[in-house]
């Protein structure tokens, strides 16, 4: 999925597994940009007694490039510290948690935020996380706890803690040889068409979100108003790093880190490492900086999934099957940004350096009528101009890989009819998105959330 368990190493290290990144001009505060990085995928809400938390031994970062070199010109660093109030109990909470300051929360976590720009460090504050959403006896008013943990300092907003998963995708089908339930009668191994199933329903993630003035992120520290000006575009990605060496301390049972921080996970565009980069290179990709992504450009220019679609859906993508040119459309969308002249009145080009970044044109205001399909549906405030929490990036990227965006750069190409219609058929089935910071829904509760359908096997119903 977006980037959950997308590489062999990160799949074994969920605390450092960056699952989704969002960057958008804040609809309720349009002179500010919201940057969100999610970690710790597939959180089953009742997963106690050691509920989910950020890693004290992980350096979390959100990076912004504003000089067209795909380098980190502004970095926000997040470091977490966990405190055990009562070390004589196994309980996460020793009574109801009515406030994030309550002594009944036995394992509070707090974090510090540092802004780094060209060697200059500024400490932005120390803040408390909320607890996980345990249930009505432990966290009786979880919304209140979440609001308490939404901090404002010097005009910036901060949140770090559990939220409902905002990304939706039919995991069970897409990983079953690329099936899309609404169209599976056309699959190489067919079965009756069906409704999509949101594989992330009931799950939570851990979110790091900040909201900062646009002028804090741009090259000349201004708020650009001309979307066609190069200064209006920023590149965004997030990362998680661990110390280069970790020794097991038998006296405490914990790991001791030595040496400098080594990046172990990074993310910008959803599905980049997951779907485009071959399995054998995914771990290396995670450790590299985006400015070195030219090595992986061949996987964007000739995506494996683009070759698989005509095979998995025989006769459905004949035009795509015959298209042998490098995918300049995907290269622009994912690696350089879309230059001026491709989409009237729009660009998010960051220069020739090929790098996986979410590119956000901050001069484009939030949409009054947002479309979850973003730019391809005529909404320039949405993906791939940044990424909002509700953007249906799975559908957008599926259709792009299926050839829908080729005519942007190759007008002679006529997309297959199916390219404009394919989807996994899912919608967000988790608590609804919010219209205010941090925009992702409140976390699912452990007591309140019921396990879903279970099945070991079952035959395919014939078409």
Partner 1 sequence: MNDPSRRRFLGVAGASAAVAGASAVIPSAAFAGETHRSAGSSTESVVAYVSDTASNELTLLVGEREVVVHDRDLVNRILNAAGK
Q: Which residues bind partner 1 (CB under 8 A)?
A: 243-245, 247, 249-251, 256, 258-261
Query: Would you say 243 or 288 has its CB closer to partner 1?
Result: 243
Distances (CA, A) of 3 to 38, 53, 109, 169, 282: 10, 19, 25, 12, 11
DSSP output for 312-349: HSTTT-HHHHH--S--HHHHIIIII-PPTTSBTTB---
Instruction: Report d(CA 306, CA 155) in Å as an integer.
Output: 45
Nearest approach, Cβ of residue 195 and partner 1 (Å): 51
CA 326 centroid distance within chain: 27
Q: Residue 21: helix, strand or coil by DSSP?
A: strand
Query: Would you say 261 or 447 has its CB closer to partner 1?
Result: 261
Distances (CA, A) of 291 to 188, 270, 353: 39, 17, 7
Query: Would you say 16 or 401 has its CB closer to partner 1?
Result: 16
Nearest approach, Cβ of residue 260 and partner 1 (Å): 5
Query: Would you say 264 or 396 has its CB closer to partner 1?
Result: 264
Instruction: Report d(CA 382, CA 396) in Å as an integer.
Output: 11
Query: Would you say 79 or 168 has its CB closer to partner 1?
Result: 79
Nearest approach, Cβ of residue 248 and partner 1 (Å): 9
Half-sphere exposure (Cβ direction) of 45: Cα atoms closer than 13 Å: 28
Phi, psi of 347 (to 5 degrees): -160, 150
Q: Nearest Cα to 160, choosing from 264, 40, 68, 47?
A: 40
Maximum CA pair distance of the chain? 71
DSSP output for 154-207: TTEEEEEEEEE------HHHHTTTT--GGGGGGSSS---------TTTT-EEEE
Nearest approach, Cβ of residue 283 and partner 1 (Å): 17
Nearest approach, Cβ of residue 244 and partner 1 (Å): 6
R_g of the chain computed on alpha carbons = 22
- Determine contact, residues 442/133, Cβ cutoff 8 Å: yes
Nearest approach, Cβ of residue 77 and partner 1 (Å): 13
Instruction: Report d(CA 169, CA 175) in Å as an integer.
Output: 11
Nearest approach, Cβ of residue 245 and partner 1 (Å): 5
Query: Would you say 260 or 458 has its CB closer to partner 1?
Result: 260
Nearest approach, Cβ of residue 320 and partner 1 (Å): 45
Nearest approach, Cβ of residue 114 and partner 1 (Å): 14
Residue 211: Cβ-neighbour burial (10 angstroms; 0-12, 13-18, 19+): buried
Phi, psi of 62 (to 5 degrees): -120, 125
Query: Would you say 252 or 462 has its CB closer to partner 1?
Result: 252
Phi, psi of 23 (to 5 degrees): -150, 125
Instruction: Report d(CA 38, CA 105) in Å as an integer.
Output: 23
Query: Would you say 184 or 241 has its CB closer to partner 1?
Result: 241
Instruction: Report d(CA 200, CA 176) in Å as an integer.
Output: 16
Instruction: Report d(CA 145, CA 138) in Å as an integer.
Output: 11
Nearest approach, Cβ of residue 240 and partner 1 (Å): 16
Query: Would you say 260 or 344 has its CB closer to partner 1?
Result: 260
Nearest approach, Cβ of residue 241 and partner 1 (Å): 11
Nearest approach, Cβ of residue 259 and partner 1 (Å): 3
- Determine contact, residues 268/18, Cβ cutoff 8 Å: no
Query: Would you say 250 or 411 has its CB closer to partner 1?
Result: 250
Query: Would you say 177 or 247 has its CB closer to partner 1?
Result: 247
Query: Would you say 116 or 343 has its CB closer to partner 1?
Result: 116
């Amino acid at each position: 999925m977006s980037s959950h368990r997308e590489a062999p190493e990160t799949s074994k290290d969920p605390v450092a597994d960056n699952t989704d990144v969002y960057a958008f001009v804040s609809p309720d505060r349009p002179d500010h940009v919201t940057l969100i990085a999610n970690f710790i995928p597939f959180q089953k809400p009742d997963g106690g007694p050691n509920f989910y938390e950020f890693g004290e031994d992980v350096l979390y970062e959100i990076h912004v490039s504003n000089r067209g070199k795909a380098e980190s010109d502004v970095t926000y660093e997040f470091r977490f510290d966990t405190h055990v109030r009562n070390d004589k109990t196994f309980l996460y909470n020793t009574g109801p948690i009515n406030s994030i300051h309550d002594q009944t929360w036995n394992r509070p976590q707090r974090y510090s935020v540092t802004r780094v720009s060209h060697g200059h460090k500024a400490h932005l504050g120390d803040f408390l996380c909320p607890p996980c959403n345990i249930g009505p006896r432990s966290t009786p008013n979880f919304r209140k706890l979440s609001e308490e943990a939404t901090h404002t300092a010097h005009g910036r907003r901060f949140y770090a803690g559990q939220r409902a998963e905002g990304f939706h995708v039919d995991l069970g089908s897409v990983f079953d040889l690329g099936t899309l339930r609404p169209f599976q009668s056309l699959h190489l191994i067919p079965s009756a068409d069906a409704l999509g199933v949101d594989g992330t329903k009931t799950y939570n993630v851990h979110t790091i979100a900040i909201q900062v003035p646009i002028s804090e992120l741009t090259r000349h520290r201004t708020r650009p108003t001309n979307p066609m000006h190069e200064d209006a575009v920023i590149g965004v990605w997030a990362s998680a790093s661990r110390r280069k060496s970790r020794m097991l301390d038998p006296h405490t049972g914990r790991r001791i880190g030595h040496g400098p921080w080594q990046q172990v996970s990074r993310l910008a565009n959803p599905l980049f490492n997951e779907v485009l980069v071959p399995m054998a290179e995914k771990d290396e990709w995670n450790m590299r900086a985006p400015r070195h992504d030219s090595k992986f450009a061949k996987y964007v220019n000739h995506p494996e999934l683009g070759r698989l679609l005509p095979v998995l859906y025989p006769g459905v993508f004949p035009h795509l099957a015959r298209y042998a040119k490098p995918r300049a459309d995907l290269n622009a969308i994912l690696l350089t940004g879309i230059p001026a002249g491709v989409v009237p009145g729009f660009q998010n080009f960051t220069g020739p350096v090929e790098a996986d970044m979410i590119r956000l044109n901050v001069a484009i205001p939030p949409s009054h009528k947002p479309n979850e399909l973003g730019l391809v549906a005529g909404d320039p405030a949405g993906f791939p101009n940044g990424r909002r929490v509700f953007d249906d990036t799975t559908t957008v990227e599926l259709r792009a890989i299926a050839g829908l965006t080729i005519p942007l750069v190759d007008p002679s190409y006529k997309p297959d009819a199916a390219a404009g219609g394919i989807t996994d058929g899912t919608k967000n089935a988790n608590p609804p998105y919010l219209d205010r910071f941090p925009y992702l829904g409140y976390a699912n509760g452990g007591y309140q959330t019921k396990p879903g359908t279970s099945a070991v096997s079952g035959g395919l119903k014939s078409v």
